[in-house]
Structure 1
Amino acid sequence: MAQAVAGTPTLLGTRLLRRSVDSITKHYPPIHEPNLNYLYLFNHDAEKLALLLTDLPALEELTIGLHRDRSTPAVAQSMSQLPFTMCRLSVIVPCFDLQNYHFGSVWTHLTYVEIGLVLEPASVLQVLQLCHDLSSLTVHTALMRVQTLEPLTHPKIQFLQLRPSRSLSSTLTDLTSLSRLFNALSLPDLRVFGANRDHSDGLTWPHGGLKALFARSNCPLERLVLDGEVGMRDEQRAEYVALIPSLEVVP
């Protein structure tokens, strides 16, 4: 039986890092590890997640990566039984949908969340609503719907990163949805904002909406990272710095 080491993955966690759920459930019975604090699961079969996410009372960090469509219901069912010790969660599935599935109360104590692929901007707002203590959020987006969004203020988030998908999103819809998302948010404790686009399409990143978000939030932003094909002219860089003189803009 693997022994937990404070602050590091257990031996069992290390084994799981290198195996799919299929191979784990073939060679291991359901996990009953009272001291397991880290778990990484990567597989094409979401239905076996429930076998692995039972009786893990000390679990603090969980990473799930699935590639099969329609995996959200199985993920939601599995996550609904996670303990209140959870503080870090990463879930990357073909369609991350909070609108139609109940994920339980696991969100309550999370401080770090990474999710994707998010197809609806409302899902980003819902994560922020559920995670009252959240300080870091990374979102892999493929925003295919332009939605009307209600304003939302999150008082604790300090790090926000957006990573639009190259392969799935309609880029015009994606950027329009991002602009509406920026217009809906107020993040008064935001310290770092990052965005990355790995493809060029001639369309303009919604700098106006992002600057309005920073101004409306009156946040102590320290670092702005706009990588890849986001695109930022010298005058746009100057406008960000004029808004927050101490801001470090990268690149």
Structure 2
Amino acid sequence: MQSNTDSSAISGTISRLQSHVVMREASNPNHVNYRYWQLVQEMAKIMQSIGPPKGSSSPIGRLPTEILAQIFLYCIPEDANWTPVPDLAPMQLTAVCRRWREIAVNMPNLWRRLRLEMGHGDWQQRAFCYNSYLKRSRGRQLSLTLECDNNNWTELRSLLQPYVDQISSLHVGLFSGASSFPLVAADFGGLEELAIYTDSFGPAPALEHIWDSITHLPPNMRSLRLLDVWLEFHVLTRLNPPSWAGLTNLEILVVGLVSLPCLLRLCPNLSSLTMIGVFMVAIETSGQLEHTKLQSLRLSGNLPVNTVLFGLLGLFDDVTLPNLRLVEVSDIGRWAHKEFKALITRSQCPLESLIFGGGVTTTAQQLAEYVTLFPSLKLVLDPTRSLFLE
């Protein structure tokens, strides 16, 4: 704290923060946080006004803790969880000086998001690091990403056991070395979001275990994203778990016969549905279903533009969606215009956005009809857009 080394380290960190702001502004001016820039500039001015350390006094000692704490928070990425790395925040912040370390270690919000990698290097060493990281969250909600290349589930369960009720967001990546999935979503009492993805499309040994694990979801679960995980629709209809009733967001990849009313009955509180895959419409015999919560519907197939797809024909016949606001479709061939127009007419919905991506065939007359029905409609035609690529 008394050496020029500390002062150089602090000044260097501030310079990196300033450079980071400039880079963010250059790449996307609309996403620069003005308060972040303000705080960094304020810190730099204080440092300049204090000047070099004299005797036992250090410039860092006169910086307000509140400013440091706010800047520490803005050092953390907002769009992803991360693996602990010494030269990146928040680990980097603990190495500048003693006071910075004390502030950072005692800020639980800095330690709420973490990526855990299984199958790389010395697990015991990494587990110790992960556990230290998690302890610093001090009971706050956690967002975790698990990337698994092996089946060392016993060690992972042992590590996570003290924190299962803190975990609100869990992303699980199953790669080639992971042939099982013994984690059960219901074991995570505070879980609100679960995403599962693999390293390739198509069947994988772990998929049966995945479906076994999500039959029962915790009561707070709101978002379920099954990315790169193919689902035969009849498996979902056979599960029919009551715990799915709380879902508000569902993203699935399906194959085979699909019934939209069946899916909406399973999730009566769903506000956003993304359904991707190669599917045909199953005949629905239960009568018309009104689903009042669905606002966003995104559909995608995997077919060339000139294909006449009968899969969407009939998909909209047995549902009424009075709150539908956004529809996006891609890679489904010829658009089921007649059926969709009938849906939005009988639903009397406040449709705001209609997006046609690549692989969809429409006509100018069809598009004009939508604009007539909804004069303020945001109509997007983007042949480069595909849900399969997102």
Q: Describe the SS at the equivalent of 1:177.
A: coil
1:43 aligns with 2:174: yes
1:104 aligns with 2:249: no
Q: 1:27/1:71 Cα in 2 relative to 1: closer, same or farther (>3 Å)? A: closer
Q: Describe the SS at the equivalent of 2:241.
A: coil
| Aligned-pair CA distance for 1:138 | 0.4
TM-score (norm 1): 0.80
Matched AA of 1:195: V
Matched AA of 2:316: F
Query: Residue 213 of structure 1 corresponds to which residue in structure 2?
Result: 343
Structure-to-structure mapping, 1:1-80, within 5 angstroms:
10-11=113-114, 17=145, 19-20=147-148, 22=150, 25=153, 28-29=156-157, 31-32=160-161, 33-43=164-174, 48-51=180-183, 53=185, 55-66=187-198, 67-69=202-204, 73-80=208-215
Choose between structure 1 and 2 for higher RCO, CA contacts under 8 A separated by at least 6 residues.
1
Query: Residue 369 of structure 2 corresponds to which residue in structure 1?
Result: 239
Matched AA of 1:28: L
Distance 2:314 2:322 in 1: 18
Query: Residue 54 of structure 2 corresponds to which residue in structure 1?
Result: none
Distance 1:244 1:126 in 2: 28
Report how many aligned residue pairs link the two structures.
Answer: 237
Query: Residue 95 of structure 1 corresponds to which residue in structure 2?
Result: 231
Paired residue for 1:120, among 253, 257, 263? 257
Query: Residue 317 of structure 2 corresponds to which residue in structure 1?
Result: 183
| Aligned-pair CA distance for 1:152 | 2.1
Matched AA of 2:150: D
Contact persistence 1:47–1:74 (CA under 8 A)? no
Higher-Rg member (1/2)? 2
TM-score (norm 2): 0.54
| Unmatched tracts of structure 1, length 5 or more | none
1:228 aligns with 2:363: no
| Unmatched tracts of structure 2, length 5 or more | 1-83, 85-107, 119-143, 382-390
Shifted more, 146-155 versus 93-102: the winner is 93-102
Q: 1:165/1:34 Cα in 2 relative to 1: closer, same or farther (>3 Å)? A: same
Structure-to-structure mapping, 1:158-177, within 5 angstroms:
158-166=295-303, 172=308, 175-177=309-311
Distance 1:133 1:13 in 2: 32
Q: Describe the SS at the equivalent of 1:86.
A: coil
Matched AA of 2:165: P
Q: Describe the SS at the equivalent of 1:17.
A: strand
Distance 1:18 1:128 in 2: 30
Contact persistence 1:110–1:131 (CA under 8 A)? yes
CA RMSD of aligned residues (A): 3.2
1:65-117 C-alpha deviation (Å, 9 max, x unpaired): 24425765433320124211100001242234345631523311111110112
Matched AA of 2:337: H
Matched AA of 2:253: G
Distance 2:169 2:203 in 1: 23
Question: Quick check: which one's helix share is greater?
Answer: 2
Q: Describe the SS at the equivalent of 1:119.
A: strand
1:191-235 C-alpha deviation (Å, 9 max, x unpaired): 11110118xxxx522111111111121111011111112133221
